[in-house]
Amino acid sequence: MGWLWNDAPKDQLDPSLRDFLKHEAPSSQKPALPALPSKPADRPPPSAPAPDHNPSTPPVPPQSQFQDGRYAHLWKGYTPQNVLENRGKSEQDRLKDIVDHYKDRRGDVGRVAMENCALEYMAQFECYRNPSWAQIAVVCRTESRRFNRCYDLQQKFLKALGYFTLDERSPEESERIQMHADKLYQQLMDQERQIEEAIEQKKPIPQFESVLSKQNISRAMTTIKVGTEAGKDTGGQSLTGLFNEEDVWAQVKPEARQTYEQQIADLPPLEQETERRAILAELQVQNTMAKRLEVAFVEERISRLKRKESGQATVGDTIKRWWGWDQGK
């Protein structure tokens, strides 16, 4: 078929066929391709939209392993497990949780104090297990007194430093408080040894500030964050940032306060500040628990009234109303 495109044979074709081939044959001119889009001028990348959360608030909850904000969109609807569990609890369960939390914290104080007094306890145990003749004569009185005093003082230091508070804290913060309580105890023991040596050698008795003084607490609490900013001197506020001492004493009856002050005065001077702060810390925890119970009782009463208005009152609601829990309503 190459003859169709050869000029010589094409001249010998019929004129009508030649005109047809001229119009229908493919053109040798290539069609124009569409032009490439012009490259836009270099522009700065669009700025990221401003986050809609507080800059001080982390973009992801602490449960995420990526605290730099990665996968933040996956955590938007996240609800902690404890919140989900609380939603399904009854009013009685919430009241029980408050009391149990208080008991657990008190038990934690005793457990941690025992850990800090492990050496004193082992000395007492070994004395009972394999005592010498001198120890048998006094029934290991020295070792028992040393352990009991350590256990008592460690609990007071832990309470004074905020270990007994009902607020949530991380295990690292709890461990720092535990270590510092033991450090204060060792410091107190060293002060007592220096006083005993001065008395034996008939030298002037050295004067020491309380191990729970402002200076000592401020230096030690810089790495412990409990409640508000730790180690900050805020006037009448406790150096641990847990409560205001005057507010705590204001909620104590004058007779009870007089009893506490007498209890403090009966102790050696080096232990009086420790006792005072431990009492204040325990009173504050009791006040906090009372307030939480009061809020729980109010919420429980509102729930009962709502059930009564909607016609869904339970047998327990009826009994409580008979007992006057709704104040005659």
**Domain ranges across the chain:** 90-309
Task: Compute the distance between CA of residue 231 and CA of residue 149 in angstroms, rounded to an integer.
Answer: 27
> Per DSSP, what are the bridge partners of residue 244?
237
Any long-range contacts for 55-61 (C-beta under 8 Å, 24+ apart)?
A: none
In angstroms, the CA 151 to CA 120 distance is 9
Spell 132-144 as b/e; 16+ CB within 10 A means b.
eeebeeeebeebb
Cα torsion 122, 128, 134, 139 to 10°: value is 110
| Predicted pLDDT of residue 21 | 66
Taking the mean position of all CA atoms in its chain, how far away is CA 239? 19
Instruction: Name the phi and psi angles at 163, rounded to 5.
Output: -70, -20
Distance, in Å, from the CA atom of 37 to the CA atom of 273, rounded to the nearest integer, reads 82
- Closest by alpha carbon to 165, among 292, 295, 290, 281? 281
Q: Quick one: pLDDT at residue 51?
A: 46
Q: Tell me the sheet residues that pair with 237.
A: 244
Distance CA 217, CA 282 (A): 18
Q: At 85, which amino acid appears?
A: E
Look at residue 110 in the predicted model and tell me its pLDDT.
95
Measured at the alpha carbon of residue 56, what is the angle toward residues 53 and 61, in degrees to the nearest 5? Answer: 70
276 in Cβ contact with 156 (< 8 Å): no
Question: Taking Cα atoms as reference points, which of 224, 212, 312 lies closest to residue 264?
Answer: 212
Residue 37 CA to residue 14 CA, distance in Å, equals: 48
Angle at 300 between CA 296 and CA 303, to 5 degrees: 140
The total of other beta-carbon atoms located within 10 Å of residue 105's CB is 17
Read off φ and ψ for residue 288, nearest 5 degrees.
-65, -40
pLDDT at residue 88, as a whole number: 64
| Two tokens, residue 171 | 């295990």
Closest by CA to 184, choosing from 206, 213, 223, is 213
Q: pLDDT tens string for the chain (329 positions)? A: 444 445 555 556 667 667 766 666 655 555 554 454 455 455 555 544 444 445 555 677 777 778 887 888 888 878 877 777 776 677 778 888 888 989 999 999 999 999 999 999 999 999 999 999 988 888 899 999 999 999 999 999 999 888 988 888 888 989 999 999 999 999 899 999 999 999 999 889 888 888 887 676 666 555 444 443 333 333 333 444 456 788 888 888 989 999 999 999 998 888 888 899 899 999 999 898 888 888 888 877 877 777 777 777 776 666 666 766 665 44
Per-residue pLDDT at 217: 66
Alpha carbon distance 59, 72 (integer Å): 6
Number of Cβ within a 10 Å radius of residue 225: 17
